[in-house]
Amino acid sequence: MGTGDYISAEAAHRVEMPPPQPFINSLRNSLMETFFPDDPFRQFKNQPAPRRFVLALQYFLPILEWAPRYTLSFFKADLLAGITIASLAVPQGISYAKLANLPPILGLYSSFVPPMVYAFMGSSKDVAVGTVAVGSLLTATMIGKEVKATENPALYLHLAFTATFFAGLLMASLGLLRLGFIVDFLSHATIVGFMGGAATVVILQQLKGVLGLDHFTHSTDVISVLRSVFSQFHQWRWESALLGFCFLFYLILTRFISKKRAKLFWISAMAPLVSVILGSLLVYFTHAEKHGVQVIGNLKKGVNPLSVSDLAFGSAYLTTAIKTGIITGVIALAEGIAVGRSFAMFKNYHIDGNKEMIAFGTMNIIGSFTSCYLTTGPFSRSAVNFNAGCKTAVSNIVMALAVMITLLFLTPLFYYTPIVVLSAIIISAMLGLIDYQAAIHLWHVDKYDFAVCMSAYIGVVFGSVETGLMIAVAVSLLRVLLFVVRPKTSVLGNIPDSKIYRSVDQYPTACNVPGILILDIAAPIYFANAEYLRERIVRWIDEEEEKLKASGEISLQYVILNMSAVGSIDTSGISMMDEVKKIIDRRGLKLVLVNPGADVMKKLTKSKIIEKIGNEWIYLTVGEAVSACNYMLHSCKPNYSSDNPETWSSSSNNV
């Protein structure tokens, strides 16, 4: 058997080029895989027009899908869960509205209309809709930089509604255009650091309410806040501070009890409402409002008034509202979807991320028309809903109706509610967002992710909320760029007594194959990394030749590129491959390729690179490539009973 015959036999498992496909079909398939990986249209195929209409309605209104199967036992569970989360929603809503420098009544408005909308459009059974502390803080800081709530409350309010509209528009657009993957740029490490930093800032901001201060800095960084606190040392109200720390201790104690015994979750869930009631009674009977304890005051009765005409589209501060809406919308979307997915995993059901975006967007758009500000699915409220045993989104309807009753009949009861109690409620909720255990886990698992987390935290605490977010996203994107620009390459060796080839750095027992350099490229080849890969391959060749020359072993003859992980290549990458081929040819070496992907094979063929290399030097596995190269290095056919180089023999009996 001649050399040519042997190579033909080895090339039997040849890498095939995919069948030719029109460009328009290739583009369509790529777009479908990018924007519709879940193939939402499969349910519409081979369906009559009336059925398609019903399916379309069910897609945008999931309640139409599960409502026919709704039972009385489900309603009993949802009723209990809805009443439970309403007891949390009322004090939280008032507290977070104050945090956003908005009238407290808006917190109740935002817990009435948006949950009703979500109940019809949301795909999660467990998400409980409401305002969130981080969104409230972002609203206060970003709009407050341009318009002070104390100096021009009407304009500030209108800008908050406008920002909510644009946040909803962004959310709905991302869902309709299937662009939810944009939110994935907020990595887990980014969210942990950002949420922890925002929670720290919110806690520091509550020192104003705890200490009963009338004037406070509008900046959110820790230096400005502490300077504002200690510069007014003589104005601290010990009565307010004592009341605040007592209620904070009570709230933390109830949370501790609920964590120790899961069945006692209702103790922590009811604690904010109990605090509001006890605080109001204490102020009422002791007249503490006359001794430095600030109270909410009047909350007007009635459900949400329309605010469509209040949207400030013609305002000089429209840009501020748009920017606030975009940033708060992305953060709210990331939190809401993450919460929904977390609880869906516990109950083993699936939620559609794009449906959730459409639902969140629609409820915020409608909310901006009905005197609501930014809402999403907060973790604390959703956790209570989950632990209370909710079965469907009807729990949101029950909560909304309970808030409606509060708006119609019970708002006068909140007149004596101390602001310091609201501050204690916020601090207690924020302590749960400082996930130091997650940060410690990041440190042990991935130092770079820990750096991203701490960048976000430090940026928020010592800069501003926007600064921390931008730093964290920038660091995360930098990491992605580093992976793309500096892809992993490694030298492969043979694992003794096997046909397996692995990195010699990871597996010290892996043996280098004499005269053959096997390189693994573990990334697509693009313009951003093509030059680096060319230089890296040449450097590997230089190092291998120097090592072989120093050891006196057989000189380098073959360079094998394992391209199994190279899923795609652009024209810069093709040029790089051509240059590498020329460099290797000038050195008297032979280039061998292993398992290039379909897209790579097609482009290399069209660019004539495969023709220059030779079809007979393209192999399916590293083992086949090494066997062929080793055969050419010996006068006779080697023994192929093992792919271990140490067992190869040049005996003529093996020919």
pLDDT surpassing 60 at residue 643: no
Which position has the higher pLDDT, 575 or 183? 575
User: Which range among 2-16, 302-316, 503-517 shows the weakest confidence by mean pLDDT?
Assistant: 2-16
In angstroms, the CA 416 to CA 569 distance is: 68
Q: If DSSP codes are grouped into helix, strand and coil, which group holds residue 239?
A: helix
Q: Are 280 and 413 in contact (CB under 8 A)?
A: yes
Last residue of a domain, one of 478, 511, 538: 478
| pLDDT single digits (tens) 421-436 | 888 888 888 887 788 8
User: In terms of domains, do 142 and 271 share one?
Assistant: yes
Predicted local distance difference test score (pLDDT) of residue 475: 81
Q: If DSSP codes are grouped into helix, strand and coil, which group holds residue 149?
A: coil
User: In terms of domains, do 361 and 445 share one?
Assistant: yes
| pLDDT single digits (tens) 357-405 | 999 999 999 999 999 999 998 887 888 888 888 899 999 999 999 999 9
In angstroms, the CA 226 to CA 272 distance is: 27
Q: How confident is the model at residue 335 (pLDDT cuts 50, 70, 90)?
A: confident
User: In terms of domains, do 385 and 519 share one?
Assistant: no
Structure token pair of residue 271: 């604690």
Predicted local distance difference test score (pLDDT) of residue 42: 60
Residue 493, beta-bridge partner list:
502
Predicted local distance difference test score (pLDDT) of residue 273: 86
The torsion angles phi and psi of 56, rounded to 5 degrees, stand at -65, -40
User: In terms of domains, do 510 and 428 share one?
Assistant: no
Length of the chain (residues):
655
Percentage of the chain with pLDDT > 70? 88
Nearest to 655, CA basis, from 1, 5, 10, 12: 1
User: In terms of domains, do 245 and 349 share one?
Assistant: yes
User: Residue range 508-529: average pLDDT?
Assistant: 89
State the angle between helix axes of 318-347 and 465-485 in degrees (0 to 180), rounded to the nearest 10. Answer: 70
pLDDT surpassing 80 at residue 26: no
User: Residue range 183-198: average pLDDT?
Assistant: 79
User: Residue range 618-637: average pLDDT?
Assistant: 80
Q: Are 327 and 394 in contact (CB under 8 A)?
A: no
Q: Is residue 376, in this structure, part of any structural domain at all?
A: yes
pTM for the predicted model, two decimal places: 0.74
pLDDT surpassing 90 at residue 581: yes
Q: Which DSSP category does 654 fall into? A: G
Q: How confident is the model at residue 306 (pLDDT cuts 50, 70, 90)?
A: very high
Strands (E), 185-321: none
Reduced to 3 DSSP states, what percent helix, strand and coil does the chain have, rounded to the nearest 5? 65, 5, 30
| pLDDT single digits (tens) 191-249 | 888 888 888 888 888 888 888 887 777 677 888 888 888 888 888 888 888 888 999 99
333 Cβ contact partners less than 8 Å away, ≥ 6 residues apart:
170, 171, 174, 183, 357, 360, 376
CATH classification at residue 523:
3.30.750.24
Measured in whole angstroms, how far is the alpha carbon of residue 575 from the centre of its chain? 36
Q: Is residue 23, in this structure, part of any structural domain at all?
A: no
User: Residue range 496-509: average pLDDT?
Assistant: 88
User: In terms of domains, do 94 and 133 share one?
Assistant: yes
Last residue of a domain, one of 478, 500, 532: 478
Last residue of a domain, one of 455, 478, 501: 478
User: In terms of domains, do 468 and 531 share one?
Assistant: no
User: In terms of domains, do 89 and 122 share one?
Assistant: yes
| pLDDT single digits (tens) 233-263 | 888 888 888 888 999 999 899 888 888 887 7
In angstroms, the CA 393 to CA 74 distance is: 10
Average pLDDT value over all residues in the chain: 84
In angstroms, the CA 267 to CA 492 distance is: 59
Which position has the higher pLDDT, 10 or 172? 172
What total number of domains does the chain contain? 2
User: In terms of domains, do 474 and 563 share one?
Assistant: no
Predicted local distance difference test score (pLDDT) of residue 517: 93
User: In terms of domains, do 365 and 503 share one?
Assistant: no
How would DSSP label each residue in 391-455? -STHHHHHHHHHHHHIIIIIGGGGTT-BHHHHHHHHHHHHHTT--HHHHHHHHHH-HHHHHHHHH
Nearest to 353, CA basis, from 331, 336, 332: 336
User: Which range among 392-401, 545-554, 575-584, 617-626 shows the weakest confidence by mean pLDDT?
Assistant: 545-554
User: In terms of domains, do 439 and 521 share one?
Assistant: no
Predicted local distance difference test score (pLDDT) of residue 523: 87
In angstroms, the CA 367 to CA 375 distance is: 8
pLDDT surpassing 90 at residue 448: no
pLDDT surpassing 50 at residue 6: no
Q: Is residue 264, in this structure, part of any structural domain at all?
A: yes
Predicted local distance difference test score (pLDDT) of residue 376: 93
Q: Is residue 425, in this structure, part of any structural domain at all?
A: yes
497: containing domain: 487-633
Percentage of the chain with pLDDT > 90? 33
User: In terms of domains, do 604 and 459 share one?
Assistant: no
Q: How confident is the model at residue 512 (pLDDT cuts 50, 70, 90)?
A: confident
Q: Are 144 and 466 in contact (CB under 8 A)?
A: no
